[in-house]
Amino acid sequence: MKILLTGANGYIGRRLLPVLIIQGHNVVCLVRDKRRIQLEENLASKVEFYEADLQYSEQLENLPKDIDAAYYLIHSLGSSSKSFSKLEKETATNFVEAINKTDCKHIIYLSGISNDEGLSDHLSSRKNVEGILQNAKASASVLRAAIIIGSGGASFEIIRDLVEKLPIMVAPKWLKTKCQPIAIRNVIQYLSGVLMKEKAFNQVFDIGGPDILTYRKMLLTFAEVRQLKRFIITLPVLTPRLSSYWFHFVTSTSYKIASSLVDSMKNEVIVKNKGINEIVPLELISYKEAVQLAFDRIAQNEVVSSWKDALASSKINTSLLDFVQIPVHGCLFDKRSKTFDRPTSEVLKNVWSLGGERGWYYWNFLWKIRGYMDKALGGVGLRRGRRSPDHLVAGDSLDFWRVLVADKKEGRLLLYAEMKLPGEAWLEFRFSREEGENKLTQTATFRPHGLLGRLYWYSIYIFHEFIFNGMLDKIINYKEPGKEETVA
């Protein structure tokens, strides 16, 4: 079958794509930038890419007509709370108008459990999208999930931040709300399993794991898996706004996402619309086992996808291509080069390992302070980390940067700043060979917004002198502990 997969480079889409290919389907990935999907050659040959933004209906006019089924895995959780409902309505409407012109017979949508009264804005928006998709000519199957547990997932990473960083948690009363979490593996099995099953046509199913837990119990069970002793104090006085700020400062999530999540946590999300197991019989994974499986993935550096890589949560809300060309006019630069006599592969690996657990090589405490400042201003801070310790592709998040180019063959890494700034900033690393010597060039580019931007640049100029020079030197000379250095 020919399958249209929207959100192919999102957290769910990246994991569903190889499953569909292995099942023998031809997949058309609808993406804004096809360079962000890295596939093995045997899988890539079975994938077709269609570049478009669902916000603009005119970009969908040439969508292939011979589509048999489509997955709708789009959401705007990272957008402003005032706009994401409108945005989700527009994108869903444009999708339906385009899919109605194809031969598509089946639409599959991953939504959120919404059986409670007084739904949050986020869950209400998801439910509205269900209605739009159900009005398409094709039959629609809606799978509603609660919290999805898996390595790299937003819910998993937020719980991880809370448990691992806070021995004593002072939390709001929503910790008593009941939830039915589900393992990412089961979600992918359900999504792929209902494909073109007539019993699933025009049906709405809740999907959840075998455990019904309060958020408090989820945190404590997570701590048990990590062999950590944690204490939770529940206070009824924390308002949603204060709870959102608390989430934002303690975890790696943005304030916009924190606000949406806190608002949704007042709603009980447990399975009521049953029947999915009659169509896709599964052995459901317990919450405790799902947490352990996620950490097994992390330990093996096999995190397939991360919520942090989604551009919906990014400052870059257009194509990555718009930022790959670094501007020249009206910019301020800090350019430093240094030759080295080590094998290029060793220094290249050091560049590709920037950020995350390793840090930024020199004066890490200042990078951390900058991260805290960014958080205080409503930015992403440093807590996003990175998906893999030494592997990068265009579109990946890297602390408070976004990867634009990661080309090992050409020896170029280009990052775009997503921290709060009075301007725009790029950080580039380029390898070259000149006069028989290996050379690494590190360039920081800043395009200031008005006088404030220029004042900002010059006010931290003295720090750049130490940080950028020290970072370049450490990148070239850094040697992993326990490994002998090889001399070229």
Q: Which residue has the tokens 């119990």?
A: 217
The pLDDT confidence band at residue 80, using thresholds 50, 70 and 90, is: very low
Q: Tens of pLDDT along 297-322?
A: 665 444 455 444 554 444 444 445 45
3-state DSSP percent of the chain in helix, strand and coil, to 5: 40, 20, 40
Q: Find the mean pLDDT for residues 60-68.
A: 93
Distance CA 180, CA 212 (A): 5
pLDDT at position 190 over 60: yes
pLDDT at position 185 over 70: yes
Q: What is the mean pLDDT of the chain?
A: 83
Distance CA 387, CA 391 (A): 8
Per-residue confidence (pLDDT) for residue 481, from 0 to 100? 75
Does 3.30.530.20 match the CATH number of domain 314-477? yes
Superfamily of domain 2-309: NAD(P)-binding Rossmann-like Domain (3.40.50.720)
Per-residue confidence (pLDDT) for residue 486, from 0 to 100? 42
Distances (CA, A) of 92 to 12, 51, 329: 18, 17, 40
Q: Which residue has the tokens 């501007």?
A: 327
Residues in the chain: 488
- Greater confidence, 266 or 237? 266
Could you tell me where the beta strands, DSSP code E, fall in 236-298? none
The pLDDT confidence band at residue 431, using thresholds 50, 70 and 90, is: very high
Distances (CA, A) of 281 to 213, 393, 463: 23, 36, 59
> Which residues are registered as beta bridge partners of 235?
172
Q: Find the mean pLDDT for residues 424-440.
A: 92
Q: Find the mean pLDDT for residues 288-305.
A: 70
pLDDT at position 137 over 50: yes
Which DSSP state fits 480? -
Per-residue confidence (pLDDT) for residue 298, from 0 to 100? 60
The pLDDT confidence band at residue 346, using thresholds 50, 70 and 90, is: very high
The pLDDT confidence band at residue 211, using thresholds 50, 70 and 90, is: very high
Which of these, 227, 247, 245, lies nearest to 175 by C-alpha position? 247
- Greater confidence, 309 or 365? 365
Distance CA 102, CA 107 (A): 12
Q: Is the dihedral of CA 42, 48, 53, 54 positive or negative?
A: negative
Q: Find the mean pLDDT for residues 54-59.
A: 90
The pLDDT confidence band at residue 284, using thresholds 50, 70 and 90, is: very high
Per-residue confidence (pLDDT) for residue 318, from 0 to 100? 44
Distance CA 318, CA 225 (A): 40
Of the chain, the percentage scoring pLDDT greater than 70 comes to 83
Q: Tens of pLDDT along 81-134?
A: 457 788 889 999 999 999 999 999 999 999 988 887 777 777 888 899 999 999
pLDDT at position 338 over 80: yes
Q: How many CB atoms lie within 10 A of CB 440?
A: 22
Q: What are residue 432's phi and psi, to 5 degrees?
A: -150, 170
- How far does CA 169 lie from the centroid of its chain? 26
Per-residue confidence (pLDDT) for residue 488, from 0 to 100? 36
Judging by DSSP bridges, how do beta strands 397-398 and 26-31 pair with one another? unpaired
pLDDT at position 142 over 50: yes
Lowest-confidence pick of 71-75, 149-153, 465-469:
149-153
Q: At what angle do helices 184-193 and 11-22 cross, to 10 degrees?
A: 50
Of the chain, the percentage scoring pLDDT greater than 90 comes to 40
Q: Using DSSP, state whether 409 is helix, strand or coil.
A: coil
Residues with Cβ within 8 Å of residue 389, at least 6 apart in sequence: 301, 353, 356, 357, 358
For residue 233, the number of C-alpha atoms closer than 13 Å in the C-beta half-sphere is 8
Per-residue confidence (pLDDT) for residue 251, from 0 to 100? 64
Q: Are the C-beta atoms of residues 427 and 444 closer than 8 Å to each other?
A: yes
Predicted TM-score (pTM) of the model is 0.68
Residues with Cβ within 8 Å of residue 374, at least 6 apart in sequence: 380, 381, 382, 400, 419, 420
pLDDT at position 155 over 80: no
Per-residue confidence (pLDDT) for residue 317, from 0 to 100? 45
List the chain domain ranges.
2-309, 314-477
- Greater confidence, 407 or 170? 407
Lowest-confidence pick of 154-158, 283-287, 392-396:
154-158
> Which residues are registered as beta bridge partners of 424?
447
